[in-house]
Amino acid sequence: MQNALHVVNETGTLKKVLVHSPGIETTSFTSDEFSSVFALRPTRTSFDYDKAIEEHRNLVKAFEDSGIEVVYLKDLVIETVEHDEQARRELTESFLSTCSVSGNELLGALRAYLEKATSATNLVNMMLAGMRYEDVLDLPTATSSLAQAVGMGFNPHGLMVNPMNTLFFARDPSVVVGNGVCCNHMYWNDRNHEATLHTVVFRHHPMFKDTPLWFEPESSFHIEGGDILNMDEKTVLVGMSQRTEAAAIDVLAASLLWNPQSTVDTVYVVEVEENGTRIHLDTYLNRIGPETFVVDRAIGENLHAYKIERGRKQGTCTVVSLDCDLDQLLALVADVPSVRTISCETPSFNRTVEGAAVETLVLSPNKLCVSANNAIMNRKLARAGFDLIETSLDELTSGFGGPSCLCMPLVRELD
């Protein structure tokens, strides 16, 4: 029987991916609320739902036309909690613990509201869409409440819990490593709602029964999927960034190196600087062939890299600082004598990198899915011998990533 999860590289034939299609969570707000609800889209003042849906459908079609099985996160969450009362309770409690609401009165009212959900679909839709005070609370009048009388009560139309409007960035909350998965603790607290959905699926859905979790969202430290790249079954490359802190990498490394279900024996780490829309390792470099990487060479300036292996004592690790340049590091993690790099240095450098030119997704050897907006980089890739599937993602990503951040590979063959 084929493993439900199996990803040990970024370059083999992609067989199965997890996605989330934009839905009610991207429409359940007013125009005045956009800047607070879509806080992670600072350059935009609106979200074109119809355009985003069209972009996502075209991306999914590109996957399916390439023979890739596509499964939807929302469907899996509904299936998970529909017939498993324990999973439903766990999802509810996790949602409550990660929302911005605190205190007995408000959390009690929110729990009661969620428990009124008439079906699994209804419950999941409520969580995705967010909740307003008037939905959850029986708000008093000014004559029966001092807070209301002095103008310090809740705005009935205000959002009590924000919608999960970045849920379509499917690789951030979880990422498969080998036959297991990292369910992440996100940098932004609002996005931990998303991680609760991923986690309940990987803990309870029959498809993923007994799947090892290398990292869990209850961790004290934050880590995100765009900073984790599989090199081979024994090697993982992790970006140490604003979104993925060093302490989280320590936790992940210990888990991967010592868990008997893991095949990883080496974790390489490279420091990643946040710069505009480049926030994860996969916006600076991606492996697109056995000896080929697409890179933003800015990551090689003042390079800080490390190698983590098992320590002598059970459960411990050894960390060694590496004295190397970018090409040497890439050859080391790829386990090859030398590498070919395709970089995005061009006269239109800023436009190229801000359009997520490095954020490519390998569909199969020599076949890449890329953002159609990156004409300069795409010409370079084509001249290098790669077949390209170009798709427009401007509304979905707003420059924050490309095809690989919009899907989470579940099964990928060896090179």
Catalytic residues: 405
**8 A C-beta contact, residue 286 and residue 294:** yes
Q: Torsion angle of alpha carbons 222, 196, 281, 346, nearest 10°?
A: -130
Could you give the angle at the alpha carbon of 362 between the alpha carbons of 360 and 364, nearest 5°?
Answer: 160
Count other Cβ atoms within 10 Å, centred on residue 313: 7
Tell me the C-alpha distance between 143 and 136, whole Å. 21
* Secondary structure letter of residue 352 according to DSSP: H
DSSP strand pairing (14-19 vs 69-72): parallel
* Distances, alpha carbon 378 to alpha carbons 14, 52, 90, 204, 212, in Å: 20, 22, 45, 41, 37
Residue 286 buriedness (CB in 10 A; 0-12 / 13-18 / 19+): buried
Tell me the C-alpha distance between 402 and 282, whole Å. 9
Give DSSP secondary structure letters for 265-303. Answer: -EEEEEE---BTTB-SGGGTEEEEETTEEEE-GGGGTT-
Tell me the C-alpha distance between 371 and 121, whole Å. 33
Count other Cβ atoms within 10 Å, centred on residue 65: 10
Q: Torsion angle of alpha carbons 1, 229, 290, 361, nearest 10°?
A: 80
Chain center to CA of 354: 19
Cβ neighbours of residue 404 closer than 8 Å, sequence gap 6 or more? 171, 282, 286, 359, 360, 361, 369
Helix (H) and strand (E) counts for the chain? 14, 19
The one-letter amino acid code at 275 reads N
